[in-house]
């Protein structure tokens, strides 16, 4: 079974939304994990709200720091704005999505980011 690890700095917005979409759109056929280099205490409430608008609940997920176990469990690592703090392991497929951080953004901006993430996730899943 293929696996994807979504990484961003706080594991509170972009990576959580991406993981939510991937879980929903892959129908359980792909292992989906997420993490951050500096995890926040909770998932961004605006990200939770905009995902709830489309029927995906990410409210129960807890931001976590990425580790070797997460990295070794997947084939693809998707980075979103973590720059040099994102890990690199030879042999893994890496994809970088240049997305705005939803932290502190309006709900309209976070909806736009959500929709960009959905398009990226849909394309990635089609490639697997």
Measured CA to CA, the distance from residue 35 to residue 51 in angstroms comes to 18
Where exactly are the structural domains of the chain?
3-127
Q: What's domain 3-127's superfamily in CATH? A: Response regulator (3.40.50.2300)
Q: How confident is the model at residue 106 (pLDDT cuts 50, 70, 90)?
A: very high
Q: How confident is the model at residue 101 (pLDDT cuts 50, 70, 90)?
A: very high
How many whole angstroms separate alpha carbon 111 and alpha carbon 51? 8
Average model confidence (pLDDT) across the chain: 93
Residue 125 has pLDDT above 90, yes or no: yes
108 is catalytic: no
Catalytic residue among 12, 43, 80, 82: 82
Active-site hit among 5, 86, 113, 117: 86
Catalytic residue among 5, 8, 18, 48: 8
User: What is the reported pLDDT for 44?
Assistant: 97
State yes or no: is 75 an active-site residue. no
Q: Does 82 participate in catalysis according to the annotation? A: yes
Q: 41-98: per-residue pLDDT in tens?
A: 999 999 999 999 999 999 999 999 999 899 889 999 999 987 767 777 778 899 999 9
Residue 90's CB is within 10 A of a number of other CB atoms, namely 4
**What's the CA gap between 79 and 97, in Å, rounded?**
6
């Amino acid at each position: 079974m293929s696996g994807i690890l979504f990484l961003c700095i706080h594991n509170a917005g972009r990576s959580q939304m991406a993981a939510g979409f991937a879980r929903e759109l892959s129908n359980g056929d792909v292992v989906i994990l997420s993490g951050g280099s500096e995890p926040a205490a909770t998932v961004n409430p605006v990200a939770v709200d905009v995902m709830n608008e489309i029927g995906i609940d990410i409210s129960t997920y807890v931001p976590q720091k990425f580790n070797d176990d997460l990295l070794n469990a997947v084939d693809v690592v998707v980075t979103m704005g973590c720059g040099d703090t994102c890990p690199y392991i030879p042999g893994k497929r890496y994809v970088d999505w240049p997305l705005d951080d939803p932290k502190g953004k309006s709900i309209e901006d976070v909806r736009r980011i959500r929709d960009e993430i959905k398009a990226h996730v849909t394309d990635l899943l089609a490639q697997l």
